[in-house]
Chains A and B, each alone.
Chain A
């Protein structure tokens, strides 16, 4: 068993409508993400953590899943993923502004702690990698009931140093569970580079130790991500066990709105990543292929801006939780 590096030429074999859908999803996530930073810098939102640079991977992966049927245990950068699955900019802005109607947590958790019952997006906390085990458990339950639902989980490359990552993948491999674990490798865990997390060249090398396929994809390419995920999902649905996918992505922002990346990332490296921005790159690919005509990209962006404007207005007009609600939902029988 060796780590696979599928070759893809972007956009080669998918029909134009699907490619366009991917592009719209990527732009929508980017526009929303940028708006959240604006709200943060205006002092209206205390905390933002970003998906910028991860959109291609997340959109490709999410489009290979069955929303509301498969089980999703995401991590804090999965804004684009959750949008593709069916959450909305309004949902995320309600969370950002800690409103009572926030469908993730009713304003109880920090933003980017996703969770949405109708879409089987399992609530996440702040400790990292714990969700890998929840996904394994959800996969186990689906199999006990004889369903072919798969479980998806994702995390950053730094979080693969956690014990729960190991325990989860090992458990899933031993029991051949329908689990797909995606590592969104942007090279840094806050400030610590991969070289100080693991001594393998790639994160996907670790798959070999668990006896499962490891796949490395260009996470700046939504099509490559979609293909890798489609294959892993098909394998899982057929009962052929878990897959570890490493998506090589870029983090185009500091870790969070509270981080300053200048001490640990050169400005040249930042400029290089921005030049490879997956949204711009995919736009160029689609324009070259004639899927996007001149002016289309601006129109897509304008549509997303209008949607985010509306969502922001709705979220800002939505009430905060009442202090009395503090005590609700500690137990189910209270």
Chain B
């Protein structure tokens, strides 16, 4: 086992798959000589050359649309969108095209493509470098949506996403890039899509979360443990498909549920998680399902007090857990 940062694990995941499979290419803005604005593709251009690591024009629809065409013609493209906030010009290609190509061709064509994009706040990125837009993609059949929270998952899930036969949106929390370090197994491994991971076992409150919030939830759970409350923290990892069985098992076991996400709550991932709990765990619940998420404002403001007020943190999550514990 080696210790890696989250972004190192992502870079190694791409590098190892590119070594293993000549069909894998990377394309996006600044991914070539510069190695990406976050350095996620650092070194790939030098190792694999400009035929496989492609600096594209500054045009997101082209990045995804070209990746779709290349995937149809036998490659395994990894398209990098520099910030998830800028994915919107490519949404027609993602939703109208990539998501529907297998279905609309009656299995004649498929799009084995990964779209990587950093998301999330807490980095002074303001409205257009901080958003968490994953929910809009989770609504779409034909897409898969993945958000890793640890280096081990980042590498293993990315490798699984690259090998997946369908389009996968791989959203990386940019605050995790250098903040989160952890052990990464040696050798070739993958982490299957569609499986949640219990990060911490408990019997009192089931906490469902993903991304950076997983780490905040773990800290909050640690704090409650000192007072004798055992929280079970479930890292969803895969937002579409959701691991329904894992959600139901933890909710039934604990009887109380807190859903935590950075994004605002209206029509979000945690709307779906709460609905699953309501449908399948009603008789097991000892309290109403609680959700904690971002405020209903259009984006994360720049000024520090505003950004801090927007973002969840360990203290806010701990308060919600204590309230639920007391119910």
| A residues lining the B interface (CB < 8 Å) | 71, 73, 102-106, 108-109, 113, 115-117, 120, 122-123, 125-127, 130, 132-145, 151, 163-164, 167-168, 170-171, 174-175, 328-333
Query: 30 interchain pairs (CB within 8 A)?
Result: A102-B106, A105-B104, A116-B108, A117-B108, A122-B72, A123-B108, A133-B65, A133-B68, A133-B69, A134-B66, A136-B62, A136-B65, A137-B73, A138-B69, A140-B54, A141-B74, A142-B73, A144-B25, A163-B89, A168-B66, A171-B57, A171-B66, A174-B57, A175-B54, A328-B107, A329-B103, A329-B107, A331-B142, A331-B165, A332-B107
Cβ of A137 and Cβ of B105 under 8 Å apart?
no
Q: B residues 179-226 with Cβ under 8 Å of A?
A: none
Cβ of B72 and Cβ of A170 under 8 Å apart?
no
Residues of A within 8 A of B97 (CB): 125, 127, 130, 134
- Minimum CB–CB distance from A135 to chain B (whole Å) comes to 6
Cβ of A164 and Cβ of B65 under 8 Å apart?
yes
| B residues lining the A interface (CB < 8 Å) | 25, 51-52, 54, 56-57, 59, 61-62, 64-75, 77, 89, 92-93, 96-97, 100-110, 141-142, 144, 164-166
The complex places the Cα of A139 from the Cα of B68 at a distance, in Å, of 11
The complex places the Cα of A145 from the Cα of B101 at a distance, in Å, of 23
The complex places the Cα of A143 from the Cα of B74 at a distance, in Å, of 12
Given known A-B contacts A115-B104, A123-B104, A167-B61, A135 and B165 have beta carbons under 8 A apart: no
The complex places the Cα of A137 from the Cα of B57 at a distance, in Å, of 14
Residues of B within 8 A of A102 (CB): 106
Given known A-B contacts A115-B104, A125-B97, A73 and B109 have beta carbons under 8 A apart: no
The complex places the Cα of A106 from the Cα of B104 at a distance, in Å, of 8
- Minimum CB–CB distance from A160 to chain B (whole Å) comes to 15
Measured CB to CB, the nearest residue on chain A to B74 is A141
- Minimum CB–CB distance from B157 to chain A (whole Å) comes to 15
Residues of A within 8 A of B100 (CB): 125
Measured CB to CB, the nearest residue on chain B to A331 is B166
Residues of A within 8 A of B110 (CB): 332
Cβ of A136 and Cβ of B69 under 8 Å apart?
yes
Residues of B within 8 A of A132 (CB): 65
Measured CB to CB, the nearest residue on chain B to A333 is B165
Residues of B within 8 A of A109 (CB): 104
Q: A122-B109, A135-B69 are in contact. List 20 more A-B contacts (CB 8 A).
A: A102-B106, A103-B108, A106-B106, A113-B104, A130-B65, A130-B92, A132-B65, A133-B61, A133-B65, A133-B68, A133-B69, A136-B65, A137-B65, A138-B70, A140-B75, A144-B75, A163-B61, A171-B57, A171-B66, A331-B102
Measured CB to CB, the nearest residue on chain B to A117 is B108
The complex places the Cα of A168 from the Cα of B63 at a distance, in Å, of 10
Given known A-B contacts A133-B93, A171-B59, A115 and B66 have beta carbons under 8 A apart: no
Cβ of B164 and Cβ of A333 under 8 Å apart?
yes
- Minimum CB–CB distance from B22 to chain A (whole Å) comes to 9
- Minimum CB–CB distance from B249 to chain A (whole Å) comes to 22
Residues of A within 8 A of B107 (CB): 328-329, 332
- The residue in A137, A168, A333 that gathers the most chain B C-beta atoms within 10 A of its C-beta is A137
Cβ of A117 and Cβ of B102 under 8 Å apart?
no
Cβ of B166 and Cβ of A332 under 8 Å apart?
yes
Residues of B within 8 A of A138 (CB): 69-70, 72-73
The complex places the Cα of A164 from the Cα of B61 at a distance, in Å, of 7
The complex places the Cα of A174 from the Cα of B56 at a distance, in Å, of 9
Residues of B within 8 A of A73 (CB): 69
What 10 A-B pairs come out closest when comparing CB atoms? Answer: A137-B69, A133-B65, A106-B106, A332-B165, A141-B73, A134-B69, A167-B62, A123-B105, A137-B66, A137-B70
The complex places the Cα of A330 from the Cα of B100 at a distance, in Å, of 8
Residues of A within 8 A of B101 (CB): 123
- Minimum CB–CB distance from B62 to chain A (whole Å) comes to 4
Of B51, B52, B72, B105, the residue contacting A134 (CB under 8 A) is: B72
- The residue in A116, A167, A175, A330 that gathers the most chain B C-beta atoms within 10 A of its C-beta is A167
Cβ of A170 and Cβ of B59 under 8 Å apart?
yes
Residues of A within 8 A of B69 (CB): 71, 73, 122, 133-141, 151
Residues of B within 8 A of A144 (CB): 25, 51-52, 70, 75
Residues of B within 8 A of A145 (CB): 74
- Minimum CB–CB distance from A125 to chain B (whole Å) comes to 5
Residues of A within 8 A of B73 (CB): 71, 120, 137-138, 141-142
